[in-house]
């Protein structure tokens, strides 16, 4: 029970801590740097044009890749070894 009574005192002392000033710690290159270009949020969080079309395109690419890999595997299995 005694530690619980000391907790508010410790928190009060921590709240009175002096924090160092950060203003003068920046280098000259940071102070002279241009402000970053802002992008509209509509462009950042925009929904893809047509997710179904994109899914179909990815599926077709994966199907083609699968066929090519199966063909390559068949060729490797039928290859003659010395």
User: What pTM was computed for the model?
Assistant: 0.39
How far apart are the C-alpha atoms of 67 and 74, rounded to whole Å? 11
Write down the domain spans for the chain.
6-81
Please give the full DSSP string across 59-75, using - where no structure is assigned: HHHHHHHHHHHHHHHHH
How far apart are the C-alpha atoms of 60 and 53, rounded to whole Å? 11
Query: What is the pLDDT at residue 72?
Result: 96
Residues 24-72 have pLDDT tens digits of: 777 778 878 898 898 888 877 877 677 788 888 999 999 999 999 999 9
H runs (alpha helix) in 2-82:
2-15, 28-31, 41-44, 51-77
């Amino acid at each position: 029970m005694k530690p619980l009574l000391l907790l508010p005192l410790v928190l009060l002392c921590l709240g009175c801590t002096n924090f160092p000033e950060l203003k003068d710690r920046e280098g000259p290159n940071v102070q002279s740097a241009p402000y970053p270009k802002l992008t509209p949020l509509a462009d950042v969080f925009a929904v893809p044009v047509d997710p179904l079309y994109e899914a179909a395109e990815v599926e077709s690419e994966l199907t083609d890749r699968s066929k090519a890999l199966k063909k390559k595997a068949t060729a490797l299995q039928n290859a003659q070894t010395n």
